[in-house]
Amino acid sequence: MVRIERTNSENPDFEKLVVLLDAYLAVLDGEDHAFYAQFNKTTFITEVVVAYENEKAVGCGAFKKYDPQTVEVKRMFVLPDFRGRKIAEEILSELEKWATELGFSEFLLETGYKQEAAIKLYHNCGYHNIENYGQYIGVENSVCMKKIL
């Protein structure tokens, strides 16, 4: 049974998961990693969820305000040994619920073409591809998506 906890970016379990996420992305992104890393700082993220199984932190996700009605999904990650068990869906669902409670109605996100499992997850959860936004405009490796809640 997975327990999802709302917290913030100072949560030590979240911080540990983000270190693992960054190492994973460094391999996937290769020489493009420094470009993406600049947009993935957790300093300005206040809404974070951490998934626990038997009190072990196994996944995380977050969002930050993009504009008055929109939030951007950030730092989605599930430990490799726990993937394929719908934990990412639970994390994303909790983020959407929380954002709705705060009055937001739209979600944006960016992922990379090499992250096929992430793309499939987001499509399965009702997100659709959009033109690249913000700092991702013109970035060939970026896949941007949106969902209206």
**What six digits make up the tokens of 11?**
């949560």
Range of the domain at 85: 2-148
Average pLDDT, the chain: 90
Lowest mean pLDDT among 40-54, 75-89, 100-114: 40-54
Tokens of 51: 């998934």
- Residue 34, domain CATH: 3.40.630.30
Q: How many domains does the chain have?
A: 1
CB 59 within 8 A of CB 52: no
Q: Is 133 helix (H, G, I), strand (E, B) or coil?
A: coil
pTM (2 decimals)?
Answer: 0.89
